[in-house]
Amino acid sequence: MDNTSKKEILSGLKEKCSRCRACALCETRTNVVFGKGNENAPVMFVGEAPGEKEDLSGEPFVGAAGKLLDKYLTYIGLGLGDVYIANVLKCRPPHNRDPLPEEEDACIGFLLGQIEAVKPKVIVCLGRISAMRLIGGDFRITRDHGKWFEFHGVPISAVYHPAALLRDPRKKQEMIIDFEMLEQKLKNLTD
């Protein structure tokens, strides 16, 4: 797929997403939060759902969790031009509650479309919600973070959600190890 068709597919999906009324979250959202970054990136990060700042701005991971994510990306030499970032849900759940199964079911087609268009070489789930959705329902973040699985032939892993590190800074050391592992994985792809 050439770059123009990737961009076209993503902007078509984004347009459809911006008009989506498939679940009740459309009633309370300010903005749909589709995705950001480079559509040719080798690595795609998948978070959970927009928070307050994301709902207001229309961009994923712009709040406190996003700033922490940026630090880990910088630590392994990556910037927004090297990654694509999206969420399982494109609309904010009220009071940042966990997504409901029916909300995920209504929204998942957009994420799958993004994965299909971007064709990342590696997918990294941020937290348990996206890991349980893309890796498997029995995924346990404390047990399984930093391990590699497959998503339709694409290597996929999960790390702690940055918001979890804000609540429990003791997890930061494990996050560093997981990002170093990701750095190595990306390096192996280009060797």
Task: Give the shortest CB-120-to-ligand URA separation in angstroms.
Answer: 17
Nearer to ligand URA, 5 or 112 (CB): 112
Nearer to ligand URA, 126 or 182 (CB): 126
- Residue of minimal CB distance from ligand URA? 47
Instruction: Catalog residues that contact ligand URA under the rule CB under 6 A.
Output: 47-51, 54, 60-61, 63, 65-66, 87, 126, 163
Q: Which residues contact residue 144 at a Cβ distance below 8 angstroms, ignoring those fewer than 6 apart?
A: 131, 135, 158
Q: How many CA atoms lie within 13 A of 172 on its CB side?
A: 11
Say which amino acid occupies 140. Answer: R
Task: Give the shortest CB-171-to-ligand URA separation in angstroms.
Answer: 16
> Distance between CA atoms of 86 and 140, rounded to whole angstroms?
21
Nearer to ligand URA, 97 or 190 (CB): 97
Nearer to ligand URA, 64 or 177 (CB): 64
Alpha carbon dihedral 37, 41, 46, 49, in 10-degree steps, equals 10
For residue 85, the SS3 value is strand
